[in-house]
Amino acid sequence: MEEKVYTTPLGDIHYWVQWKGKDAQTLVFLPGLTADHRLFDKQIEYFANKANLFVWDAPGHASSYPFSLRFSMDD
């Protein structure tokens, strides 16, 4: 898995990808609000040579911390 970072004005969002090719199925792993990318370690290990993979740390969680959660509907 290759770690990447998406930078926003509120903070960085960390995500990991593995690309096996356009013909491979793609699996997206989205951990819940109290978890991070490590929740899927066993699944990623199993699918490592079988599919394209994407997993992230939601803003404010694990590698995507700190992240400013200050916003309003006016933004």
| String of DSSP letters for 9-72 | TTEEEEEEEE---TTS-EEEE---TT--GGGGHHHHHHHTTTSEEEEE--TTSGGG-S------
Average pLDDT over residues 3-23: 93
Residue 47: pLDDT band (50, 70, 90) is very high
Average pLDDT over residues 54-63: 83
CB of 28 closer than 8 Å to CB of 54: yes
DSSP H or E segment with residue 4:
strand 2-8
Average pLDDT over residues 25-49: 91
Q: Which residue has the higher pLDDT, 75 or 5?
A: 5
Q: What does the DSSP 8-state code read for residue 8?
A: E
Instruction: Enumerate residues 6+ apart whose C-beta is below 8 A from 65.
Output: 11, 57
